[in-house]
């Protein structure tokens, strides 16, 4: 299928500003620069309420399959697997014939959390454990979110990333899954696409309820790696948990952790064999100096999935945040496990691993999400925001440098910020037609 040489495909993917659409925003071209054995399309969307990956595969089916073939050809992979959860099995049924014609396989994973973790997918599909702290490339695999794969197909056609699939749900009038211009204000999306919010003091969780963050304000822009906007009342359990200050969770954890170790027993990375033991990290709250640093090493491979804090801990403590702080301490002191330690500590996956996965239904009931478990059907709107804000640090790596001036006219798709060729990163593009109305060190604002 691929007619362009691999180098040109990689170049186009970079020039189109394609970054991971389902996670940290890693520049995708970098993953295409090497040859691998396995390509995995991650449609396992395990965060509650989100349906944007499902809709990406349904609405952009041809581009998805074409993008997957491009990734296979560029990386010279021998196997290609589309990974979905059981709730999306009907979607892959719909494209199974075309997928089979291309030689793509399908993995249908149970409706558990965190099925979309690439460490888990790589293990399930290849039988190999990614080395602690490593990336799938270390075991000959590339994992891309399904929306990223659609963006790769478009990039090869010369189309930059200017739009984003999003599920907008929770306390809104009309939950919806849709496509919005990158950089649109959260408040505009809620008002114009979901009928507005239905709670007097809305708080918006972006990305996901388990791993996503809390938007600082309704004026924050939609970014290329966001999966959804979930509106909750300010007194919702999850909002309270996610906005607790460090002083509070540290003080409570210090006083109340009884070392039951349930956080470790249910930790998805621990049961996959990695040396991560959050209950031992909790002990560091009672320590100082070198003892604290040594204890913090048990947090090094935490993926911040939040199972320990939001599901496992019977005391509702926050081992995940304690682990995040411990990882920061390790970085500040340049500490990490030695190769010799890892040889001893890195194990085979736990024999009862499957029995300890968290059913999605449990998340709904435990996190008070059942009232929001409503359909969020796909709808494409003929709507353009009045203005967009495009952050220059929109991806992992070097931030883009603006190449436009205040007052410049731009058209949708124009490059407005670039990253030097020798740096990790990719350009950013105008997502609407308009004029540059503000330019700061952090972002470019365009007004129609």
- Residues interacting with ligand SF4, by CB under 6 A? 257-263, 267, 269, 276, 278-279, 282, 302-308, 312-313, 315, 317, 319-320, 323
The continuous run of DSSP H or E covering 70 comes out as: helix 61-75
C-beta of 213: minimal distance to ligand SF4 in Å? 14
What span, in angstroms and rounded, lies between the C-alpha atoms of 192 and 204? 16
Separation CA 204–CA 198 (nearest Å): 12
Tokens, residue 65: 């399959």
Please state the φ and ψ torsions of residue 99, each to the nearest 5 degrees.
Answer: -65, -45
C-beta closer to ligand SF4: residue 19 or 305: 305
Q: How far is the CB of 214 from ligand SF4 (least distance, A)?
A: 17
Query: Which residue, among 6, 75, 74, has the nearest Cα to 38 in the 3D structure?
Result: 75
- Pull the structure tokens for residue 302: 């935490």
Residue pair 32/16 in contact (Cβ under 8 Å)? The answer is no
Q: Which of 423, 416, 429 is nearest to 396 (CA)?
A: 423
Nearest to ligand SF4 of 259, 386 (CB atom): 259
Whole-angstrom distance, CA of residue 213 vs CA of residue 223: 13
Closer CB to ligand SF4, 96 or 292, in the complex: 292
Quick one: 71 or 323, whose CB is closer to ligand SF4?
Answer: 323
Beta carbon of residue 369, minimum distance to ligand SF4 (angstroms, whole number): 19
Write down the least CB distance from residue 281 to ligand SF4, Å.
Answer: 7
Q: Tell me how far, at minimum, the Cβ of 174 lies from ligand SF4, in Å.
A: 33
Q: Under DSSP, is residue 103 helix (H, G, I), strand (E, B) or coil?
A: coil
Which of 276, 426 has the CB closer to ligand SF4?
Answer: 276
Min CB(255)–ligand SF4 separation in Å: 11
Report the SS3 class of residue 291.
helix
Pick 286 or 420: Cβ nearer ligand SF4:
286
CA distance 149 to 56: 10
The pairing of beta strand 228-233 with beta strand 387-391:
unpaired
- Measure the CA–CA gap between 166 and 50, rounded to whole angstroms: 8
Comparing CB distances to ligand SF4, the nearer of 168 and 211 is 211
CA distance 436 to 146: 32
Q: Considering the complex, what minimum distance in angstroms separates the CB of residue 166 from ligand SF4?
A: 25
Distance CA 4, CA 346 (A): 42
What is the smallest separation between the CB atom of 265 and ligand SF4, expressed in angstroms? Answer: 8
Q: Closer to ligand SF4 by CB, 156 or 326: give it.
A: 326
């Amino acid at each position: 299928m691929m007619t362009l040489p691999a180098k040109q495909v990689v170049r186009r993917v970079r020039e189109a500003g394609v970054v991971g659409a389902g996670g940290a925003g890693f520049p995708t071209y970098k993953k295409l620069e090497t040859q691998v054995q396995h390509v995995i399309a991650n449609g396992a969307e395990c965060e509650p309420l989100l349906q944007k990956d499902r809709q990406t595969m349904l609405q952009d089916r041809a581009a998805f399959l074409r993008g997957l073939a491009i990734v296979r050809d560029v990386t010279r992979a021998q196997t290609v697997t589309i990974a979905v959860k059981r709730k999306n099995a009907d979607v892959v049924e719909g494209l199974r014939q075309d997928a089979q014609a291309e030689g793509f396989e399908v993995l249908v994973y149970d409706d558990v959390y965190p099925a979309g973790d690439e460490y888990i997918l790589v293990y399930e599909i290849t039988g190999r454990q990614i080395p602690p702290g490593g990336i799938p490339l270390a075991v000959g695999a590339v994992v891309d979110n399904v929306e990223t794969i659609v963006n790769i197909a478009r990039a090869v056609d010369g189309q930059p990333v200017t739009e984003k699939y999003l599920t907008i749900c929770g306390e809104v009038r009309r939950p919806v899954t849709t496509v919005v211009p990158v950089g649109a204000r959260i408040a505009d999306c809620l008002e114009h696409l979901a009928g507005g919010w239905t709670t007097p003091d809305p708080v918006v969780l972006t990305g996901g309820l388990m791993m996503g963050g809390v938007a600082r304000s309704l004026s924050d822009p939609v970014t290329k790696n966001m999966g959804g906007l979930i509106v909750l009342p300010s007194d919702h359990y999850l909002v309270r948990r996610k906005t607790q200050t460090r002083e509070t969770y540290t003080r409570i954890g210090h006083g109340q952790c009884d070392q039951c170790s349930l956080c470790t027993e249910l930790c998805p990375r621990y049961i996959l064999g990695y040396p991560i033991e959050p209950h031992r990290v909790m002990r560091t709250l009672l320590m100082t100096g070198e003892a604290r640093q040594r204890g913090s090493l048990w947090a090094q491979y935490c993926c911040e999935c939040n199972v320990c804090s939001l599901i496992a801990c019977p005391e509702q403590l926050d081992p995940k945040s304690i682990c995040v702080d411990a990882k920061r301490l390790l970085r500040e002191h340049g500490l990490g496990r030695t190769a010799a330690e890892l040889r001893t500590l890195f194990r085979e996956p736990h024999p009862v691993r499957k029995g300890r996965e968290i059913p999605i239904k449990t998340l709904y009931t435990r996190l008070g999400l059942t009232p929001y478990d409503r359909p969020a059907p796909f709808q494409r709107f003929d709507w353009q925001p009045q203005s967009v804000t495009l952050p220059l640090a929109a991806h992992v790596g070097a931030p883009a440098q603006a190449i436009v001036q205040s007052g410049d006219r731009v058209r949708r798709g124009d490059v407005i910020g670039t990253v030097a060729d020798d740096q990790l990163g990719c350009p950013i593009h105008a997502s609407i037609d308009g004029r540059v109305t503000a330019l700061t060190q952090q972002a470019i604002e365009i007004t129609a």
